[in-house]
Amino acid sequence: MTSPATPELIGLAQRTLRELRLRVAGASGGGPNALNEAGYAGAASLFDAFETWLSDRGSSKAEELPIDEFSALAGEFFRAAGWGRVTFRSLHDALAVIDIEGCWEAQLHGEGERGCHLTTGTLAGFLGCLADYPVAVMEIECSVGGTARCRFLAGNAEMLEHAYDRVSRGERWESIGAGEF
């Protein structure tokens, strides 16, 4: 049972998170989906912490912020929380692009691991707190694969499915045109 004074967030050592990832990923029936679901489940608390952080700074609620101001403040919040350098931007006003340089989850990967499943689920839940529809998130680049950052696309399920189809056919995600959504 929690009281109003009980904090919603706690800090965990990276070693603890690494072990958690390995155990959940290795659990029967677990794997990436379990990590994604765990991230999604905790996202509302993260969003509440973001709203408190905004309020403490004298800022508007997240939903009232212009996109560029939201992007800058959310990036600052996530960076301060140890996520790495996080940037948010819009792609043709249809999808959000989230880049994370020095992604905390990618840094925890063991030999042969790839994909930031916990982060993907958390971003979906966090952005879903702002949207009036369920938000889907897909990781399209992982820094474990040698890129400079982890990159995620976010949007409604139909837009993301369209983007996935295009990317899976070998097209560059940047080439997806605004008129196609």
Angle at 106 between CA 155 and CA 8, to 5 degrees: 70
pLDDT at 168 over 60: yes
Domain annotation covers residue 60: yes
pLDDT at 4 over 70: no
pLDDT at 47 over 70: yes
Domain annotation covers residue 77: yes
Cα-trace Rg, the chain: 16
pLDDT at 101 over 90: yes
Query: CATH number of the domain that 121 lies in?
Result: 3.30.1380.20
- CB count within 10 Å of CB 14 equals 12
CB 98 within 8 A of CB 123: yes
CB 157 within 8 A of CB 77: no
pLDDT at 73 over 70: yes
**How far is 88 from 68, CA to CA, in rounded Å?**
9
pLDDT at 178 over 70: no
Region 80-108: mean pLDDT is 88
Q: How is residue 139 written in tokens?
A: 């990781």
Domain annotation covers residue 8: no
Domain annotation covers residue 37: yes
- pTM beyond 0.85: the answer is no
Question: Which has the higher per-residue pLDDT, 70 or 118?
Answer: 70
**How far is 51 from 54, CA to CA, in rounded Å?**
5
Domain annotation covers residue 2: no
Domain annotation covers residue 92: yes
Domain annotation covers residue 146: yes
**How far is 2 from 172, CA to CA, in rounded Å?**
47
Nearest to 101 by CA among 122, 79, 124: 79
Q: 47-51, 67-71, 88-92, 97-101: lowest mean pLDDT where?
A: 88-92
- 116 residue type, one letter: C
pLDDT at 174 over 80: no
Domain annotation covers residue 175: no
Q: How many domains, in total, are found in the chain?
A: 1
C-alpha count within 13 angstroms, C-beta hemisphere, residue 2: 6
Task: Go through the chain and tell me how many residues it has.
Answer: 181
Strand partners, 95: 91
pLDDT one-digit tens code per residue, 5-27: 545 555 666 666 666 666 666 65
pLDDT at 146 over 50: yes
CB 129 within 8 A of CB 51: no
Q: How is residue 166 written in tokens?
A: 């295009």
Region 26-52: mean pLDDT is 80
pLDDT at 96 over 60: yes
Confidence of residue 119 (pLDDT cuts 50, 70, 90): very high
Structural domain span for residue 161: 14-170
